[in-house]
């Protein structure tokens, strides 16, 4: 089991005002799964992704990542685990400005496990998402769809155990959005575990499991069938 969460809660506390956002979530995610988390705006999807992605801590409950109880880790241990186990793709891309496509993807390698030939590794991954011709462009010189493909390459470059994508198509035109979803599905077909937040049905159709959240509670969790699109023998890593 890759991820196990049990009765997970999150309250935000500002000026003595307590906002309960996650109210006791329990579910598992297997290695190789592709989970779509769906729910109305404000239901706690991003809050949950930040906790699962080790960018924030829960207020209560348990979170085991590869069997390790992450609620017990120090901030430094969490950051170390995040660097080597987690890839994150955000709706707003979060690329470094005034920096090239290639540099954005090399950066995570400078503080993690694949130290040899970082430039070659970053190039190979950028080529696998169709950006071999954009390596030396600055991030303000490429389209939104290309930016999100850079973000996916950056998420992949450390060979993470799981990729979290929070509404990755939310800022894209529909054609670029379809391309991003096809890349995510291909990555999953090649064995990568993906957790996607979306409110669009067409993107959730790429998932193998749907978890529906409302008011910080799970209201549905079910498996779905979908077609396989990766070509045999194709490698992205
Ligand atoms: N730092 C914060 N402080 C207080 N409330 C927050 C904070 N972050 C998110 N919230 C609240 O938590 C709720 C869920 O937010 P979020 O997880 O972003 O929802 P979603 O991604 O499903 O739209 C919202 O009501 C939001 O206002
Ligand atoms: Mg959100």
The residues spanned by each domain of the chain are 3-223
- Non-local (6+) Cβ contacts of 139 within 8 A are 93, 95, 96, 97, 98, 99, 100, 101, 104, 147, 150
By CB atoms closer than 10 A (0-12, 13-18, 19+), residue 215 is middle
Is the CB of residue 87 less than 8 Å from the CB of residue 160?
yes
Q: Specify the residue with its C-alpha closest to ligand 1, atom 4.
A: 12
Q: Which CATH class is domain 3-223?
A: alpha beta
Residues with CB under 6 A from ligand 1: 12, 14, 19, 21, 39, 41-47
Give me ligand 1 centre to Cα 22, in Å. 10
Q: Specify the residue with its C-alpha closest to ligand 1, atom 16.
A: 44
What is the pLDDT, as a whole number, of residue 199?
Answer: 84
User: What is the C-alpha R_g of the chain?
Assistant: 17
What is the pLDDT, as a whole number, of residue 204?
Answer: 84
Q: What are the average pLDDT values for consecutive 10-residue runs of the chain, which has 237 residues?
A: 98 95 98 96 97 97 97 95 95 96 94 77 96 98 98 96 97 95 95 94 89 97 77 55
Q: Is the pTM of this model over 0.85?
A: yes
Residue to mutate (ligand 1; options 8, 21, 23; most atoms within 8 A of CB): 21
What is the pLDDT, as a whole number, of residue 230?
Answer: 58
Residue 61, both tokens: 């409950």
Is the CB of residue 180 less than 8 Å from the CB of residue 145?
yes
């Amino acid at each position: 089991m890759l991820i196990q969460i049990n009765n997970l809660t999150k309250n935000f506390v500002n000026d003595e005002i307590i906002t309960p956002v996650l109210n006791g979530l329990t579910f598992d995610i297997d290695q190789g799964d592709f989970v779509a988390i769906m729910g109305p705006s404000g239901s706690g999807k991003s809050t949950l992704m930040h906790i699962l992605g080790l960018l924030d801590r829960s207020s209560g409950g348990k979170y085991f990542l590869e069997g390790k109880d992450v609620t017990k880790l120090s901030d430094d241990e969490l950051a170390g685990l995040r660097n080597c186990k987690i890839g994150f793709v955000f709706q707003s891309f979060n690329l470094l400005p005034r920096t090239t496509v290639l540099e954005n993807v090399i950066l995570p390698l400078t503080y993690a496990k694949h130290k040899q030939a970082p430039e070659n590794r970053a190039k190979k991954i950028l080529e696998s998402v169709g950006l071999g011709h954009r390596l030396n462009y600055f991030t303000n010189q490429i389209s939104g769809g290309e930016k999100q493909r850079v973000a996916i390459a950056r998420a992949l470059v450390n060979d993470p155990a799981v990729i979290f994508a929070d509404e990755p198509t939310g800022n894209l035109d529909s054609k670029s959005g379809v391309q991003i979803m096809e890349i995510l599905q291909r990555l999953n077909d090649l064995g990568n575990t993906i957790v996607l937040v979306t409110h669009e049905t067409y993107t959730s159709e790429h998932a193998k499991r749907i978890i529906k959240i409302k008011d910080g509670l799970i209201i549905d969790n079910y498996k779905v069938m979908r077609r396989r699109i990766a070509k045999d023998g194709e490698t992205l890593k």
